[in-house]
Structure 1
Amino acid sequence: MHEVIRNVTDRIIERSAPTRALYLERIRAASVHGVNRQRLGCSNLAHAMAPMNEREKNALSHMTQPNIGIVTAYNDMLSAHEPYKLYPALIKRTLMDLGATAQVAGGVPAMCDGVTQSQPGMELSLFSRDNIAMGTAIALSHNVYDGALYLGICDKIVPGLLIGALAFGHLPALFVPAGPMPSGISNAEKAKIRQGYAIGAVSEDALLKAEAASYHSSGTCTFYGTANSNQMLLEMMGLQLPNGSFVNTNTPLREALTQEAARTLLTLIEGRGEYKPIGGLIDERSFVNAIVGLMATGGSTNHTIHLIAMAKAAGIWLNWDDFDAVSKVTPLLCRMYPNGQADVNHFRDAGGMSVVISQLLEGGLVHSDVETVVGRGLERYIVEPSISNGAFGFMSGARLSRDTGVISSLAEPFSDEGGLKLLCGNLGRSIIKTSALKPAGYMIEADAIVFESQEELQSAFKRGELERDFIAVVRFQGPKANGMPELHGLMPPLGLLQDRGFHVAVVTDGRMSGASGKVPSAIHLTPEAAKGGILAKVMNGDRMRLDVENGTLELLVSAEELESRTMLHPDLSGNRHGFGRELFSTIRASVSSAEEGGSIFDTVGKERG
């Protein structure tokens, strides 16, 4: 085991000891021998099984066979979630053949950040994660389930489902993906057309045609953003079937994987196999493995928020120092858009997670002796699913990449360090994605130009006011201010300015997500401007220095000068209503900082002592 990985794990275990012990004790208290519906009275049970057919009712009433809850994020507006319309019936048939039953316990909301980018609805995106967690809890609250299957893929949906699943940590659980869409036009071509539109060289019709050629069918978007980072994390944590995340949707192999997921869950349930509740199956080592996977693959910056919130739900405390320490010793093994031109289909064809996990195990960078849904040991994930002679199975997986331009090796990584880095200084703490940065982006010192929204920056760009070196300060974009929307609207104009030879960067208390790329972006700045952060005192013309190599972000203004300045308190009332935002006022009022998970939950935190 690599010394740094071991030390980080030990620190997490030590700081989490009181709350983790409390969490595990609560799981033990919630567990029962036999099926959970034995706790119900006859009237309760009659309500629960009223819509079932006679065969299913007979199975439930005999109190011997498990009943599985399905929590689904299905809707037919998200391309990634549209295939789920067929999954419940398939799962029910598969389980019924094995003597078990299943019910759709409930549905949870699933919004598409691609649809809401730069729209008011995007201000509900981060908050939707905790709403999904609560919806999961409501779905499972009927207490007639002995295990659960979670159908979800995209950005906030998987973290929300996992937080909800951990609240029912005494139940075995397994996550079921639906797979990516086939590849569309190249990412390079798409980015070129977007930049052309930003300067008026490409028409809106041509832009829509290009976008529709990229996002063109059912399935996950193929770039390596938060949705596909979710799938990688679930495999690194052993909560999803091995190397199955990126099998294309609506294929025979995808259907076979879904059936296998249902069969596998039964092996985790008492009386059908070795009882493995999700709250005990994953531990501190599972989360460290997830962080290592994030760094090795160049995954989404959103997970510096989500992983903290997910871990907290299991009584485990992560912080950005953990991410930074892991990143410094984890080589970057993958090149997928936005830090390369390949997509997740190319990644799968190069060997996918089998190669990544094999390399990480070889380097002692991940914990091998962990529990997973397919048994003990992460080595079980060095396989590939297949159908041979009509039978589904896992065959030995690739240990070396079939395409070294997409997945490299420990011997020849794309970078000696991972894809994310912590920046600290007098403004606070922030995260920067480094996997797509060129060397020129590692150190920028320039004057600040201050904006209160991404729309202000776009307008200044169109007026020709940004043709110079500068650092864009985009503030009052944190959880407390407006729900921390992703600021993708910054990238086309700033990318164009960078291509013209200007040195530009972003400093913001907002999010940029897995799609941030070549423009240096210090994001998630904590404390945020709306909670008294120094960012609220920055003025146009202030000198700033962003130094990736040394991990610093400094406002080059004296402490005395900053002390004399008044903290800005802009009118944020425009972010408080419309598009349902008024319904989330209590979340805005109580949400934690980005480094604390941007969450309203305190699960076992108050007992931390």
Structure 2
Amino acid sequence: MSLSPVIAKVTDRIIERSRAARGTYLDRMAQAAEDGPRRAHLTCGNQAHAFAAMGADKGTLVAERAPNLGIVTAYNDMLSAHQPFETYPDKIRAAARSVGATAQVSGGVPAMCDGVTQGQAGMELSLFSRDVIALAAGISLSHNTYDAAVYLGVCDKIVPGLVIAAATFGYIPALFIPAGPMVSGLPNDEKAKVRQQFAAGEVGRDALMQAEMDSYHGPGTCTFYGTANSNQMLMEFMGLHLPGSSFVNPNTPLREALTEAATKRALEITALGNDYRPVSDILDEKAIVNGIVGLMATGGSTNLIIHLPAMARAAGVLLDLSDFAEISEAVPLMAKVYPNGLADVNHFHAAGGLGYIIGDLLDQGLLHPDTKTVAGDGLSLYSQEPKLKDGVLTWEPGTKETLNDKILRPARDPFKSTGGTKDLNGNLGRGVMKVSAVAPERHIIEAPCRIFDDQRDVKPAFQRGEFTQDTVIVVRFQGPRANGMPELHSLTPTLAVLQDRGLRVALVTDGRMSGASGKVPSAIHVSPEAALGGPLARLRDGDVVRVDATAGTLDVIGVDLSTREPVTADLSANGHGVGRELFEVFRQNVGLASDGAGVVV
């Protein structure tokens, strides 16, 4: 089938908008590539330092005839998703040696867990950690001794930060190696129910703790379809993973075989071979559009609407929120994975997973088929499924039919005719809503607002019984300039209780929600933020606010905001504690959320 006119139009618009920036970027990458293998430019002293501890690999490194692979790792054993990476460097080095090449850990990058910092002061460092990761990865690769790089990272800000770094070093190949999701534990809907019961005072902390431990119980990515698993989807749609590798569980034979294969493939695509695939060629406008299509078709994390513009900008590609909105209108919602359903990512993978969705979207003309990927030319490679037969890794055609139509449906018979997010624009600014999990009857909420300048004040108001009517809860001064734009996911159980009591409620904020944003309508990332004097700073308690995900609007009704002076908030407490002192320069220089909230790009 021919390419969708909407996908073609949006892509052409992005290409035109990016023409100058992309041209400059590609010129720089081409010049860097012409310089040849990186180690050739190092002095003997430089190389001796780099190879001093490499033992039996020294001879191979000095000969410079075989590629040297840089490993950038986000390993720590506090993140369940990253704990498996502890053993990856040894496996990667062994795989490299088996083909006569070498591999070195070039450096580590920080990796924080938003699940640990949710509702805590540390969450104010979360978004900025993306830029720190990009900077740290840049330092890791600055030694200039690598012919390709593999990136070990999975979760929220980590993959976007690594992609920004990979694009910056776009003249060498980049391949992302995942760790996979933990096996299924307590179903996510049961966990959410216990959270709501705790918020309502119906169960104690012991019951809540048991539910949380039964849900998050082993190595691997959390099993709901939040930002971490949305990142994995993105890497496949954009051709930076090996096909079908995202959702294979840790510590399984297939996972081990995919890690070995990824290492060998990264070594095959360097400039020393005959299939040179620098990431600058892979991460182009079409690949990025394919990533947006995947986000909409799967109902993925709203966090990617911040991260994708930043990732794209690092490769000279300029995105606008209108690109997301138009693609969302053209792409059907094909998946129901928690919080947009009861299934987790293991169930999703078993039902056909990303291979099924990519194949079906290609058949419907909703993806660019002619992209370059780390696996080869053409996105159809990603409709295949990896199999391990008699110890040999192969790829076979994936299923052409959904294996569970309660989890996956074809594009011609989707769960919804449009994608998972909605662009909102009005006199309160510009924001976004994840609508895939929100019931249609809640897509429009119009009610008096209740304003909070600190998320920690919402729960006490709820406990005092102050929410007795339909309410739009506004939590402002939560943007990147104010306090680093923390996620406000810890408010979800409270708001869900109000909604279950029959009230019509919505959240409006210049902050973020978790990638697991659920059934409460939430207008998030509102820009310009309150700390910059944006419209939210002119709202007053009792103003009637209309959140309309059908029309795509966000307005205060019957009020001329231009007649009001914006309020200010005392943000001094955001400047110290748990490392926040170190990030003042970030807060003062961060861009708008609508542009990706970037500091380094």
TM-score in terms of structure 1 length: 0.97
SS at match of 1:545: strand
Aligned residue among 55, 58, 63 for 1:53: 55
Deviation at 1:272, TM superposition (A): 2.3
Equivalent positions of 1:207-356 (< 5 A) are: 207-356=208-357
Tell me, yes or no, if the aligned pair for 1:354 and 1:399 is still in contact at 8 Å: no
Alpha-carbon deviations, 1:436-475, whole Å to 9, x = none? 1112211111000001122111110000001210100100
2:469 maps to: 468
Equivalent positions of 1:25-424 (< 5 A) are: 25-32=27-34, 34-54=36-56, 56-424=57-425
Deviation at 1:33, TM superposition (A): 5.8
Deviation at 1:94, TM superposition (A): 0.6
Tell me, yes or no, if the aligned pair for 1:34 and 1:64 is still in contact at 8 Å: no
Tell me, yes or no, if the aligned pair for 2:182 and 2:250 is still in contact at 8 Å: yes
Q: Distance in 2 between matches of 1:557 and 1:212?
A: 48
Deviation at 1:32, TM superposition (A): 3.8
Q: Distance in 1 between matches of 2:122 and 2:272?
A: 46
Tell me, yes or no, if the aligned pair for 2:37 and 2:272 is still in contact at 8 Å: no
SS at match of 2:18: helix
Q: Pick which of 391-400 and 425-434 moved more.
A: 391-400
Q: CA RMSD in A?
A: 0.8
Q: Distance in 2 between matches of 1:410 and 1:526?
A: 33
Q: Distance in 2 between matches of 1:459 and 1:166?
A: 45
Q: Which amino acid aligns with 2:20?
A: P
Runs of 4+ in 1 over 4 A off after TM superposition: none
Does residue 446 of structure 1 match 2:444? no
- In the alignment of these two chains, the number of paired residues is 599
Q: Distance in 2 between matches of 1:547 and 1:175?
A: 38
Tell me, yes or no, if the aligned pair for 2:548 and 2:554 is still in contact at 8 Å: yes
Q: Distance in 2 between matches of 1:273 and 1:242?
A: 21
Tell me, yes or no, if the aligned pair for 2:510 and 2:524 is still in contact at 8 Å: yes
SS at match of 1:31: helix
Q: Which amino acid aligns with 1:587?
A: F
Q: Distance in 1 between matches of 2:149 and 2:346?
A: 28
Tell me, yes or no, if the aligned pair for 1:333 and 1:409 is still in contact at 8 Å: yes
2:586 maps to: 587
SS at match of 1:371: coil
Q: Distance in 2 between matches of 1:271 and 1:117?
A: 45
Distance 1:532 1:277, change over 3 A: same
Q: Distance in 2 between matches of 1:566 and 1:149?
A: 51
Q: Pick which of 150-159 and 202-211 moved more.
A: 202-211
Deviation at 1:485, TM superposition (A): 0.4
Q: Which amino acid aligns with 1:569?
A: T
SS at match of 2:289: helix
Q: Distance in 1 between matches of 2:254 and 2:521?
A: 40
Alpha-carbon deviations, 1:451-502, whole Å to 9, x = none? 1122111110000001210100100000000000000121111101111110
Tell me, yes or no, if the aligned pair for 1:458 and 1:489 is still in contact at 8 Å: no
Q: Which amino acid aligns with 1:166?
A: A
Deviation at 1:558, TM superposition (A): 2.9
Equivalent positions of 1:567-586 (< 5 A) are: 567-586=566-585
Q: Pick which of 274-283 and 39-48 moved more.
A: 274-283
TM-score in terms of structure 2 length: 0.99
2:520 maps to: 519
Q: Distance in 1 between matches of 2:542 and 2:478?
A: 21
- In structure 2, runs of 5+ residues without a counterpart are none
- In structure 1, runs of 5+ residues without a counterpart are 603-609
Tell me, yes or no, if the aligned pair for 1:332 and 1:413 is still in contact at 8 Å: yes
Q: Which amino acid aligns with 2:429?
A: G
Q: Pick which of 144-153 and 433-442 moved more.
A: 433-442
Q: Distance in 2 between matches of 1:61 and 1:558?
A: 72
Tell me, yes or no, if the aligned pair for 1:35 and 1:65 is still in contact at 8 Å: no
Q: Distance in 2 between matches of 1:214 and 1:466?
A: 30
Deviation at 1:411, TM superposition (A): 2.2
Deviation at 1:271, TM superposition (A): 2.7
Q: Which amino acid aligns with 1:126?
A: L
Does residue 23 of structure 1 match 2:4? no
Q: Distance in 2 between matches of 1:8 and 1:481?
A: 33
SS at match of 2:337: coil
Residue identity over aligned pairs, in percent, reads 55
SS at match of 1:505: strand
Q: Distance in 2 between matches of 1:273 and 1:111?
A: 38
Tell me, yes or no, if the aligned pair for 2:36 and 2:271 is still in contact at 8 Å: yes
Q: Distance in 1 between matches of 2:144 and 2:16?
A: 33
Q: Which amino acid aligns with 1:27?
A: M
Distance 1:89 1:329, change over 3 A: same
Q: Which amino acid aligns with 1:94?
A: A
Q: Distance in 2 between matches of 1:473 and 1:94?
A: 53
Q: Distance in 2 between matches of 1:583 and 1:126?
A: 14
Q: Distance in 1 between matches of 2:391 and 2:61?
A: 32
Tell me, yes or no, if the aligned pair for 2:512 and 2:525 is still in contact at 8 Å: yes
1:606 maps to: none
Q: Distance in 2 between matches of 1:547 and 1:76?
A: 42
Tell me, yes or no, if the aligned pair for 1:129 and 1:156 is still in contact at 8 Å: yes
Tell me, yes or no, if the aligned pair for 1:175 and 1:239 is still in contact at 8 Å: yes
SS at match of 2:511: coil
Q: Distance in 2 between matches of 1:411 and 1:169?
A: 37
Q: Which amino acid aligns with 2:541?
A: N
